[in-house]
Structure 1
Amino acid sequence: MTEQLDLRDLHYFETIATLGHVGKAAEKLHRSQPALTGCIRRIESTLGTALFEKEGRNIRLTPAGELLLERARNLLINADDIVKEFKDYSGGLSGQVRIGLVPTAAHHMLLPLTKLLSKDYPNLQLKLIIGQSDFLNKLLKERELDLIIGLESDLGDSFEFFPIFEDTMVVVANSSHEIFKNPEVEMEDLLKYKWVLAPKSVTSRKWLDQNFELQGLPKPDVQIETNLLLMIPSMIMQTDLLSFISRLNLKRPSPDVDYIREVKVKETTMQRWYKVIHRKDGYLPPASRRLRDILIEQGRDFFENN
C-alpha cells in the first residue's frame, strides 16, 4: 500500500502537465508551489522515474510523464464517474442531460423532445448545444456532452452509434430559377451558377466538393459560406444561388410565392444517417440512458412529423 498513487496528487500532476508551469498550476489550484513540487516528487519516487524536464522558463513532460498523463486522466474520469453513479443510484430518473445536436436535427427534434420531457419526465433537465459535427464531436471527446445527435464521423471505436433516421442531401434552387428551364440538368450545368454552402469542414460540403472533383470538374463557386445552415433556405428563396441541403428543408409549393425546389442530379444526391452517439467508456447516467432510448425509439417520428 505504501506504493499506491494518491488521486489528489494525480489531479495536481494533471493540472501542472496541462499548464506546463508549476506557478500557473499553483494559482489555479489555490495551492503553494512547494506543495505542488512535493506532489511531483512523491509520484516520481513511487514510479522511480522523472516526469518533467526544463524547457526555458516552463517545464515539459518526459516520455514517462506523457504516459502517466494519459493514465491519470482516465483514472480521474473513472473516479468522478463512480461518484456520479452512486449519487444517481437512488435518485430515480432525474438530473441534467447534456446533449449536442447538429442544426437540422435541432430544427426537427427540439420541439417534440421538449414536449415529451415536460409532460412525461418533468425532473429531467436538458443542456442543449447546437453546432456542426466537428465541434460537437470535440465536446463529446472532452466529456462536455453526454450524447450527440449527429452524422457520420471519424470518432472511432471508443464511441457507440445508434442510427435513427436516414436523410437525403440534394442540390436546390429557387423554384423560379432559370436552371429549371433545362429538362435534363447535368453536373456541368450546376457550375454556371454561384452557391451558398456550409464551411469546408462540414461532411456534406466535403462530399459535394469531392464528387465534382471525381468527375474531373471544378468545385462549386461559393459566394456565401455560412455555418448558419438553417438560414440557407431563406437565402435560396430570395436569390439565384444554388445550395446543398436536406430534403427535409424543402419548402412546399405555393401558387403565390417562390419555394425551394430540388435540382435533380443523381451524382449530387447524398444519403446520410442521423445517429445518437455517446462514449463506450465511463458512466452514462440513468437520465442520459433513458433519453438515448427515447431518441432511438422515436427519433424517426421526430424527424418525419416536424
Structure 2
Amino acid sequence: MATDREQQLMRHAFALAQNGPERGVNPRVGCIIATPDGTVLSEGWHMGAGTPHAEVAALSTLAKDAARGATAIVSLEPCNHTGRTGPCVDALLDAGIARVVFAASDPGRHSRGGGARLAAAGVDVEGGVLAADAEALLGDWLPTARLHRPLVTLKWASSLDGRTAAPDGSSMWITGPESRADAHLLRARHDAIAVGTGTVLADDPSLTARDADGVLLDAQPVPVVFGRRAVPESAALRRHPHPFTHYDGRDLSHDLSDLRDRGVRTLFLEGGATLASALLRAGLVDTIVAYLAPALIGGDRLALTDIGVRTIDDALRPQLTDVTRTGDDVRLTLSMKGNR
C-alpha cells in the first residue's frame, strides 16, 4: 500500500504533469524519483510528442546509478512500447529503480502492461494510487485511449418535427442567431469538425469557428471530410486555417482510429444525415447535441436516415443530460452511453 509520503508525492506528480501540453496524441504525465524514505532526487514531466516521457525526463537529471534502489512515483503507468521514444519500463529497469508507484493504468493497445512487466522483473509495483484524481487530470485522453478513437459529438439543428431543411432544400436559418453562436463555441472546443461529401457539395461549409461578426475564433477545429466524392478545388473548406483530412468512409472505425493517432481526441460531427446515421449505426457516437427550433416544416429532409432500427424495441434511447434555452430555440444534450 502506498505510504502517506508517496501519496503526497503523487499529488505533486499531478501538478508537474500540468506543465505539459493539454492537447495532442500523448497524455500529461508527471514523475518523481525519490529515496525509499521519500527524499526527492529528481522530477520531470512529458512536454509533448517526440520529447522524453516523464520518467526519462526525471532520470536524465541524475548521475549514473543515482536512482538505484529508488522509488519512481508516476501519474500514469509506465509505457511498455517503442514509439517516437523507447519504453519507459526499460529506462526504469536500466536505472535500477526498486519500486514504482503509479496512479492510472495505461489502457493503450501497445503501451499498456508496463506495471506487469516491471513486477515480473522483480520491481515492487503499486498501481491505482489516487487513480480517480489521475483520471480527472488525463481528461478526454483516457476514454479515447480506451476506445482507440476520438470522442464523437453529433450535432444537428432542426425544426420541432425533426426537419433539417425545407422540401426545396433551403435550410438557412432554421434556428436563431443564439443557437448558431452557441454551436460555433462548441466547434471551437473540439479538436476536429467533420462533414460528409454530400454536405460539402450541397452547402459548401467553411467548417470554421466564428463569432457573431464572422471573425475567426482563436481555436479552430481541424476540418475532416468523409466520402468517396472529390472535394472541389473551389470549396470553402480549402481556405480553412488548417488543411483538411479526407477519408473515403468505407471503414469508419479505422478512420476514427487514424484521427486519434493524429492527435484528435474530440470530433464535432456537423452533417449530413447519411454520415450521421452511419456513425450511429456503427455505435461510434458518444454525445448528441440537437438544437430544436419552434418551427414545423414537414417533408422528408430528416436529421437522420436509417440507423438500423426496425421496431420500437430497437430504438436508441440516449440519456438526456442537459436542456438549455438558446434564444427562441432549445438545445438538448444527450449521452449515447449504453447505446454503443
- Fold agreement, TM-score > 0.5: no
Relative contact order, CA 8 A, sep 6+: which one is greater? 1
TM-score by length of 2: 0.26
